[in-house]
Amino acid sequence: MMNQRIDDKIIDRLVEISGEKSVLTDDIERYLYDETEELVRPEADKNCVVVRPSTYEEVSKILQAANELGFSVLVRGGGTGACGAAIPTKPSVILSMEKFNKILEVDKVGMMVTAQAGVSLFQLNEYLDKEAHELYFPCHPGDEGAHLGGIAVENAGGVRAVKHGIMRNYVKGLTVALPSGQIVKLGGKLLKNNMGLDLMHLIVGSEGILCIVLEVIFKLHPRMEYTGAMVASFNNAEDAVNSVVATQISGIVPLAVEYMDRDIAVKTAEQISGNWPMNDDGKVDIIYMLESRAEDELYEMAEKIDEIARENGGLDCVIAESKKDQKNILDVRSAIYEVFKPIFVDSLDAAVPVCHINDFLKDIDEIADKFATTSPRVGHVADGNFHNFILRSEDGSTPDWADEMRRDIYTAALKYGGTVTAEHGTGKTRKAYLDMQYPREVIDIMKNIKKAFDPNHILNPGVVVD
């Protein structure tokens, strides 16, 4: 039933619900792909129609129609995902959240924001900067075009997860449309809620297969007056990792701790016409982002990080004194993905326990040797999460061995009790590896949970376990 074509009957119904202007049948290319790597992403089915509802009631009616007429609904946020969850692989009604773009409330007392799911991260950050400057939203997955609903259902991570955690820690309330069309509120402006099973935390990370998120309530944090960035360089990955571990154990809590192969940093810096502050012989750089209520505490942290780095073989340590220098470092980190995208097939997202990072990185190097390639990487090192690149062939194509290499790396991560995907999500591109990580019975439970929410399988077909 769910493979049925999107025909005039369906389109007529959508027009009836949302009006002609809100239903697009032509020029819908920009709704068909997300940020998933070109050589990895599935092909989009062109038999799609885009509907852009303006009210929650319209969303309910579209879902009711989907159950009645038997069509698939694919929820479209900012299109910044990296697991193909937003690419229609079957004929689908693409339900774009773009009109749900209102920030509804910033609660300065409880430090929470309530916003519609289609608000972008950029929009939120800009709003807070201007209207509630004392507060900010630390979580920062790469692309600020991401919608708030999207980063909630994808349980996004990003560089700033070290101090305040991943998205799950920020999500306090969700207003969702269940697949039946009923709209319900889960959680709230609450720091604690133990009533019933926690469906909200199940929805976080569920990639849109359980319901459509209409509104989010996110925790905000007081903006710290003093921020800083510094880079420490090392001869090799092992020294760098050991230094990061020692810093964490010392009780210092940076906002972010990022690992970069020097080659990647330098090449990226060249591309964005910036320059990279490190010019020693190091092979690996670690970026620290710091924040503090007090200036002297910031400097004390920086000094301590420097000291620990040197104790662990650190070569040099550069503190970005000016806002401009800080920005340059962060811009380089942010640009890596775009700069390297044309030369890699896939950017992996495995994570391992922190105590096994060095073993895992050595395994990856050996695996790369086996395939006579290299695997450049950046990573959220304090989280044990690395984005290793599988490089393209010289002619730009996918090497024959790409999937074998990918599976070898996943096998290595899982051997250490790791995970295939730490933050980018399962979606459509990592679904095939689900049984490497979970036994059949666990996957079956996930499938039955999907069924408990969405008995007719109308939402986001083909994602995670559907």
Sole binder of its own copies in the list 1, 343, 432, 445 (CB under 8 A): 445
The answer to whether residues 100 and 18 touch, using CB atoms and an 8 Å cutoff, is no
Both tokens assigned to 70: 């038997």
Which lies closer to its own copies via its Cβ, residue 44 or residue 83?
83
Considering only residues 148-187, where is the footprint of its own copies by CB under 8 A?
Answer: 154-155, 157, 161, 165-166, 168-169, 173, 178, 180, 182, 184-186
Q: How far apart are CA 223 and CA 133, in angstroms?
A: 7
Q: Determine, following the binding rule CB under 8 A, whether residue 385 of this chain makes contact with its own copies.
A: yes
Q: How far apart are CA 206 and CA 427, in angstroms?
A: 9
Q: Determine, following the binding rule CB under 8 A, whether residue 196 of this chain makes contact with its own copies.
A: yes
Which lies closer to its own copies via its Cβ, residue 134 or residue 404?
134
Q: Determine, following the binding rule CB under 8 A, whether residue 310 of this chain makes contact with its own copies.
A: no
| DSSP 8-state code for residue 134 | T
Secondary structure of residue 183 in the 3-state scheme: strand
How many other CB atoms are found less than 10 A from the CB of residue 398? 15
Considering only residues 321-350, where is the footprint of its own copies by CB under 8 A?
Answer: 349
Q: Determine, following the binding rule CB under 8 A, whether residue 299 of this chain makes contact with its own copies.
A: no
Q: How far apart are CA 93 and CA 212, in angstroms?
A: 14
Distances 41 to 34, 46, 162, 340 between C-alpha atoms, Å? 9, 15, 29, 16
Which span (23-31, 42-50, 306-314, 432-440) binds its own copies, by CB under 8 A?
432-440
Which lies closer to its own copies via its Cβ, residue 149 or residue 399?
149
Q: Min. distance of Cβ 81 from its own copies in angstroms?
A: 11
Beta bridge partners of 230: 288, 319
Q: Determine, following the binding rule CB under 8 A, whether residue 303 of this chain makes contact with its own copies.
A: no
Q: Min. distance of Cβ 304 from its own copies in angstroms?
A: 9
Q: Determine, following the binding rule CB under 8 A, whether residue 192 of this chain makes contact with its own copies.
A: yes
Q: What is the DSSP string of 116-140?
A: ETT-BHHHHHHHHHHH-TTEE----
Of the candidates 258, 235, 262, the residue with the CA atom closest to the CA atom of residue 247: 258
Give the residue carrying structure tokens 């007719």.
456
Amino acid making up residue 217: I
Q: Min. distance of Cβ 422 from its own copies in angstroms?
A: 4
Considering only residues 388-427, where is the footprint of its own copies by CB under 8 A?
Answer: 417-426
Which lies closer to its own copies via its Cβ, residue 6 or residue 463?
463
Q: How far apart are CA 290 and CA 326, in angstroms?
A: 11
What sign has the CA pseudo-torsion 12, 14, 19, 23?
negative
Q: Min. distance of Cβ 230 from its own copies in angstroms?
A: 18
Q: How far apart are CA 26 and CA 222, in angstroms?
A: 45
Q: Determine, following the binding rule CB under 8 A, whether residue 432 of this chain makes contact with its own copies.
A: no
Considering only residues 106-145, where is the footprint of its own copies by CB under 8 A?
Answer: 107-112, 134
Which lies closer to its own copies via its Cβ, residue 225 or residue 321?
225
Q: Determine, following the binding rule CB under 8 A, whether residue 312 of this chain makes contact with its own copies.
A: no
Considering only residues 247-276, where is the footprint of its own copies by CB under 8 A?
Answer: 248-252
Which lies closer to its own copies via its Cβ, residue 277 or residue 461?
461
Q: How far apart are CA 194 and CA 15, in angstroms?
A: 41
Give all strands of the β-sheet with 23-24 in edge-to-edge order: 23-24, 48-51, 92-96, 72-76
Which lies closer to its own copies via its Cβ, residue 9 or residue 293?
293
Which lies closer to its own copies via its Cβ, residue 150 or residue 277?
150
Give the residue carrying structure tokens 């299109």.
79
Q: Determine, following the binding rule CB under 8 A, whether residue 453 of this chain makes contact with its own copies.
A: yes
How many other CB atoms are found less than 10 A from the CB of residue 103? 18
Q: Min. distance of Cβ 383 from its own copies in angstroms?
A: 4
Considering only residues 352-381, where is the footprint of its own copies by CB under 8 A?
Answer: 352-355, 380
Considering only residues 68-107, where is the footprint of its own copies by CB under 8 A?
Answer: 107
Q: What share of the chain is helix, strand, coil (3-state, %, to 5)?
A: 40, 20, 40
Per rule CB under 8 A, count of chain residues that contact its own copies? 91
Which lies closer to its own copies via its Cβ, residue 81 or residue 118?
81
Considering only residues 17-56, where is the footprint of its own copies by CB under 8 A?
Answer: none
Question: Nearest 5°: phi and psi at 337?
Answer: -60, -45
Which lies closer to its own copies via its Cβ, residue 18 or residue 60?
60
Sole binder of its own copies in the list 245, 298, 317, 318 (CB under 8 A): 245
